[in-house]
Amino acid sequence: MANPSKSKGTSLETWTVRYLAWALQDTRIDRMPLHGNADQGDLIGVMFHGEPVCVECKDTKMPNYRKHWRELKVEMANMDTPTGCSSSIARAWA
């Protein structure tokens, strides 16, 4: 049986990729493979003014914006980019 938390995260990442690829008309946007301690966000191919954007997707029961922001900052440093965003969804009923 698959890990339910991992499945929720994968689903959010997949839908975020589909939306951004459509909205930005860029088929290079995709899910990023895991890098262990040197994680560089969840998506690859998102650009802003020629710089890569670190995108972090979170599907949680309760929002924890401070923790997610700290994680995003670490992953932005790992990616060596000044730009990042967090895509979060909190499901109180989950």
91 close to 61: Cβ distance less than 8 angstroms: yes
Write the CB contacts of 8 (distance below 8 Å, at least 6 apart in sequence).
59, 94
68 close to 57: Cβ distance less than 8 angstroms: no
- What digits encode the pLDDT tens for the residues 2-13? 787 788 889 999
Query: pTM of the entire structure?
Result: 0.85
- What digits encode the pLDDT tens for the residues 67-89? 999 999 999 999 999 999 988 88
